[in-house]
Structure 1
C-alpha cells in the first residue's frame, strides 16, 4: 500500500479468514488499532475480498468447509496480482507435516492454535515490514518509471495467467494494443520533456477507462500501450477500444505536427479469443491485436479496428 501525501504510511490492510466468529473477533480486536482489518468466513469470500480490496497480508485458517486454507493459498499464489501477498496460517493442525505443507504452498509463517494474540501481532508486524521492502523491489522491476503503469514484463506475466484461466474456464479474453499517432514528430517539434508529459496524460486516460480489478493496462514500450480485458467479448472490447480513441481526443492536447488532428490522438487495435484450444499461444492474441493496430493506421489513424481470433 502506498504512502499518503504527507509522507506517512497509510494503514496496511489485514484479511482474517476463519469460519469461527470467536477467532475473527479476537484477532480483529488485537490488530484493529494498528491495521485496517477485513474478515472472511469462507475461502470463496476471502478470494472476493482480495479481488475488491488492496490486501497487504492474509491470516488464514486451514480447516474450513467447502474450500480449505490449502485451496485458498493455492488460488492466491497462482494469481500474479496476489502472489506476493504474505499468508500466515493459523491452525489447530500443529503436526510438522501440516506446517511443512503450508510453507511449501507459499505461506510465510505458521501459527498453531490456541494462539496468543500478542504473538500473532508481532508476527504480522514483522511480515508487514518485509512486505514494504518487497513492494519497493517489485515496483522497480514491474512498474514503468515514466507513466507509473505496469511495464511490459508485468503485462506478459498477467497475459500468460489470464490466457491459462480463460482456456480452463472457456471464457473470452481480449487484448488492446495502442499507439500514439505521429509521436516521433511530437518529440521532434516540442522536445522530449513535452513528449514525456504527453505519455503520462495518455496513460492517465487509459487508466481511468480500465475500472475492473481483473483488467490490466501497461506501457508496452515507447509510445505503445496495451490492455488486457479478461471475460470481455468482441462487442465489449470494440466499445472499450472506441472509448480509448474518443477519450484521448477529448484531452485536446495540442499536437503541432500531426496529419490527422490538431491534437494528440491514438490508433487502436483489439482482438478477442473464444474457446482457446490447447495448442494455441497467448502471443497469437497480441499479434492479432497488433495487426488490427496496423489496420487502424493504414485506414488513416485516430481510430480503432477489432477482430475475433479463431484459436
Structure 2
C-alpha cells in the first residue's frame, strides 16, 4: 500500500517546494494535481522560465521534462548545476526516452532519478517522497556542518559561501550588497577578568542579540572568528545597513553584561564597520570585506563602541 505523504511532511518546518517543468500544460496539470495538497507547487513551461523560477524560489526538488522546445531538460540541468545558488537542488528527469545512454547522460549531468512516461502516479509519489526526505536530511546535515558550535550562528565556512553566493546574485540583479563586521570591545580583558566560561556565555548572548535583528531568511549572521561576527545583507543599501548596525550596538549594550575592564563602558559593547557595494565585472567580493574591515578599524581607532560606515561604498 502506498505510504501517505502526510506521514513524513511534518519533518519539514515549511511545506516542501516542488518545481514542475514541462512544455505541455496537460502534463503539468497531472503532476500538479498529485502534489498540490502536500507541496507548494511551482510550474514552468520553458527552460528559461525554469531557471528563473529556481533562482527566485530555490525549490526542494525539480521534476524536469527532457524533451522541450528551445532549451531542453539536459541544458536546463547543466545550467542549474553550474550555478552555486541552484546546484544543490535535486532533479528528477521525466522522459519518454528509454535508451540506456539517455539515462547515463542524465546521471552524468547530475540528475538523481528518472521517471518514465506515461507516468504511474504511485511510482511518482513514492520517488518524490524519497528524494524530498533525502533533501531534508542533507539540509539538516549541512546546517549542522555550517553552524558555529559555541554560539549557534553560522560559522566562517558558511559566511564564505554566503558572501560569494550573494555577491553573484546581487551582480546578476544589480542590487547592493551590504556587510557589517562586528567586534566585541576589549574581549580579551573580559576573558582575563571573568574567565573563559563567562567569555563563552558572553559570545553566545552577543550572537543571539545580533541574530534577533536580522529577520529576512536570506540575511546571515555568522561568527567570523574569535570575538568577531559578520552580517551579510543582500539587497540592503548603506543607509539601511547602518540602521541595522546601530540597532545591533544598542541591543548588545542593553544586555547589560558587566565588563569592568572595558575602557568605554562598564558593560559589554561592540564596534561595527559597515560597507556596501553593488557588484560589477571589475570587482571581487573581497573588496567588500576589505572595506568593511577598514570601517571596523576606524571604529576602534575612534574610541570603540560605535558604528563607522563607508560613504564611498553607498549606491
Q: Give the TM bin, normalised by the shorter chain.
A: 0.7 to 0.9
Q: 1:299 aligns with which of 297, 302, 305?
A: 302
Q: CA deviation at 1:147?
A: 1.8
Aligned to 2:252: 248
1:1-311 paired onto structure 2 within 5 Å: 9-10=11-12, 13-18=16-21, 19-20=25-26, 22-28=29-35, 36-42=38-44, 43=50, 44-45=52-53, 47-50=55-58, 56-61=60-65, 73=77, 77=81, 80=84, 82-92=86-96, 99-100=103-104, 102-278=106-282, 280-307=283-310, 308-309=312-313
Q: Which runs of 5+ in 1 are unaligned?
A: 1-7
Q: Is the 8 A contact 2:55 2:85 kept in 1?
A: no
Q: CA deviation at 1:173?
A: 1.9
Q: More displaced, 133-142 or 152-161?
A: 133-142
What RMSD over aligned residues (CA atoms) do the two structures have, in Å?
A: 3.2
| CA 1:25–1:300: 2 relative to 1, 3 Å | same
| CA 1:107–1:148: 2 relative to 1, 3 Å | farther
| CA 1:22–1:266: 2 relative to 1, 3 Å | same
Question: Partners in 1 of 2:207 and 2:109 — Cα distance?
Answer: 36
Q: TM-score, normalised by structure 2?
A: 0.78
| CA 1:151–1:209: 2 relative to 1, 3 Å | same
Q: TM-score, normalised by structure 1?
A: 0.79
Q: Number of matched residues?
A: 293
| CA 1:282–1:74: 2 relative to 1, 3 Å | same
Q: CA deviation at 1:37?
A: 1.1
Q: After superposition, what is the alpha-carbon deviation per residue over 1:233-292, rounded to whole angstroms, capped at 9, x for unaligned? A: 2222222222221222232333332222232211100111235242x3222211111111
- 3-state SS, counterpart of residue 157 of structure 1: helix
Q: Is the 8 A contact 1:14 1:59 kept in 2?
A: no
Question: Partners in 2 of 1:293 and 1:9 — Cα distance?
Answer: 41
